[in-house]
Amino acid sequence: MTPWWQSGAIYQIYPRSFLDTNGDGVGDLAGIVNRLDYLEWLGVDGIWLNPVMPSPNADWGYDVSDYCDVHRELGDLDILDQLVTEAGRRGIRILLDIVPNHTSDQHDWFHDSRSSRSAEHRDWYVWADGRGDDPPNNWRSVFGGPTWTFDEETGQWYMHNFLPEQPDLNWWNPGVRDAFDDILRFWFDRGIAGFRIDVAHGLVHDRELRDEPPDPEHPDRLQPIYSMNRPEVHDVYRRWRKICEQYEPACVLVGETHVLDPVVMASYYGQGDELQLAFNFAFVYAPFDAASLRDVVERTEAAIPEGGWPVWTLSNHDVIRFPTRWCDGDEAKARCALLALLLLRGTPFLYYGDELGLEQQNVPEEAQRDMAGRDGARTPMRWSNEPGLGFTEPGVEPWLPFGSGPNVAAERGEPGSSLSLCRGLLALRREHADLRRGPYASLQSPEDVWAWSRGDRYAAAVNLGEGEAVVEGLAGTILIGTSRDRDGEQVRAGLRLGAREGALLELS
Ligand code: NOJ
Ligand code: CA
């Protein structure tokens, strides 16, 4: 039987920005419950929530201080249970974000770890002596500066691939592995259908703490082959997969496999015994032109092992929203991107607002909250054009500014909108098995066009160029087009596409 996450589409929610039900300007879990009808109407099968666990928010939830509770600003365990139940009633499953690479420096484990060299949890984190007054090695943190912070109290350095407030766990320690087994079970037993794994490639560090070599392509940078990307991380996922398989249906693991080579990304599927899904950043970062997209999709298809299943995403909470990054605000191009996302073989992840074609927002300096400049992708969902935008009560200051752009109420009733297009594409995936499971194959097409088939009966194409183009040899009926007035059109001698236009064809 096809697992639900293979046939379904998943919607990513940044909980602080979805819907605020108690007028504090911060979205909450009750708000997500409140909007389940919308998500059911849209036609998604699962939701991934960015971190909901208690956190001092040095990195907005990615610094967890308790892995078995809910951040009070977002709700509590009861409301999360209610979300699981209410979503389940609508055939929607809930995935959480788990952050196993590091904890918050406010986690009890770290408090204990830094209390003395002989503390019970000392070895749960990565402590090392310096080289004289310098850190133990040359590793650099993703957010800048050394990967090491000196702790006066105990006279050693601790490692953090991200902020000093995010000390890395020591995955060589069996206690850490056991603790996470329990954390997974805690959530799976509550009905959580799976996890998106933060920094999935990063958990294990080199035991000998060897210096990173320079990156041959960027001599001013280092190649992170020892601080992360270690082969031993695969043992962790084989172990987690076994836990997932103890549930019915099996719980699903989606890795934030932030590696740019599709072959390395594909290694996280293991022999069908590691992650079921791995995010594909080569696609996210590809230039938005026909040749580059075709190339990365072909390389991904070739790399993923038999039985593995691709993942496609346009945006997330860390990158610039795709209508800005890929399309320079051009709505027609953004619709081509949505059409491609939902017609590839694999599990599509829509980031909240993607379905509206929401652009990256400009957040003025005084309103910025994130230390890494990612606020523009995390602003409140735009539900309507009423005061408060349907996100919060009128007059309430939202935690990040509203910005500007489309809104759900306006797009919902508009057949030509991005929202209607997404809903239409999601409905077609449900209707036609080959749009879910059919194999992908690239088709011959003019230079600016990317065309592909799904099984024997369907073909899709997007023309990303500025002139009209014809994909020769295609005949059939347009099931859906980015220009919706072409839905139902009979195509006889080749599919003609206008500039920045895409379509799905049922072949005759
Ligand atoms: C990846 C997350 O998506 C990002 O938001 C976070 O800052 C880092 N991991 C560190 O946890
Ligand atoms: Ca709230």
List the residue whose alpha carbon is closest to atom 11 of ligand 1.
62
Residue whose CA is at the smallest distance from ligand 1 atom 4: 318
CA–CA dist 84, 33 (Å, integer): 9
Pocket of ligand 1 (CB under 6 A): 59, 62, 99, 162, 198-199, 256, 317-318
Separation of 113 CA from ligand 1 center, angstroms? 23
Look at residue 361 in the predicted model and tell me its pLDDT.
98
b/e sequence 411-443, b meaning 16+ C-beta within 10 Å: bbeeeebbbbbbbbbbebbeebebbbebebeeb
- Under the banding of pLDDT at 50, 70 and 90, the label for residue 375 is very high
Rounded to an integer, the average pLDDT of 482-499 is 97
CA 177 / ligand 1 centre spacing (Å) = 21
Q: Note the pLDDT of residue 1.
A: 83
Mean pLDDT (the chain, rounded) = 98
Global confidence as pTM: 0.98
Residue 412 has a pLDDT of 96
Between CA 121 and CA 144 the distance in angstroms is 27
What are φ and ψ of residue 134, in 5° steps? -95, 160
Residue 208 neighbours by CB distance under 10 Å: 7
How many Å apart are CA 156 and CA 159, to the nearest integer? 10
User: What pLDDT, on the 0 to 100 scale, is given for residue 219?
Assistant: 86
Residue 102 CA, closest ligand 1 atom number? 11
Q: Which of 256, 274, 301, 359 is catalytic?
A: 256
Distance 275 CA to ligand 1 centre (A): 19
Name 313's bridge partners: 349
- Expressed in angstroms and rounded, the spacing between residue 256 Cα and the centre of ligand 1 is 9
Q: Give the model confidence (pLDDT) of 138-181 as tens digits.
A: 999 999 999 999 999 999 999 999 999 999 999 999 999 999 99
* Residue 9, burial from CB neighbour count under 10 angstroms (0-12, 13-18, 19+): buried
Of the chain, the end-to-end C-alpha distance in Å amounts to: 29
Q: Is the pLDDT of residue 34 over 90?
A: yes
What pLDDT does 486 receive?
Answer: 98
User: Residue 337 — very low, low, confident or very high, per pLDDT cuts 50/70/90?
Assistant: very high
Catalytic member of 105, 198, 354, 411: 198
Q: What gap in Å lies between CA 418 and CA 424, rounded to an integer? A: 10
Residue to substitute in 50, 60, 62 for testing ligand 1 pocket (most ligand atoms within 8 angstroms of CB): 62
In angstroms, what is the span from residue 423 Cα to ligand 2's centroid? 28
Told to judge if 256 belongs to the known catalytic residues of this protein, a careful annotator would answer: yes
Active site residue 112: no
SS (H, E, C) 255-297: ECCCCCCHHHHHHHHCCCCCCCEECCHHHHCCCCCHHHHHHHH
Q: Which ligand is nearest to the CA of 256?
A: 1
Confidence at 307, pLDDT banded by 50, 70, 90: confident
Measured CA to CA, the distance from residue 471 to residue 451 in angstroms comes to 8
193-213 pLDDT, tens digit per residue, is: 999 999 999 999 999 999 999
What is the SS3 assignment for 430?
A: helix
Q: Which residue has the tokens 């402590």?
A: 127
Ligand 1, atom 5, residue with closest C-alpha: 318
Tell whether the torsion through CA atoms of 265, 449, 337 and 142 is positive or negative: positive
pLDDT of the residue at 493: 87
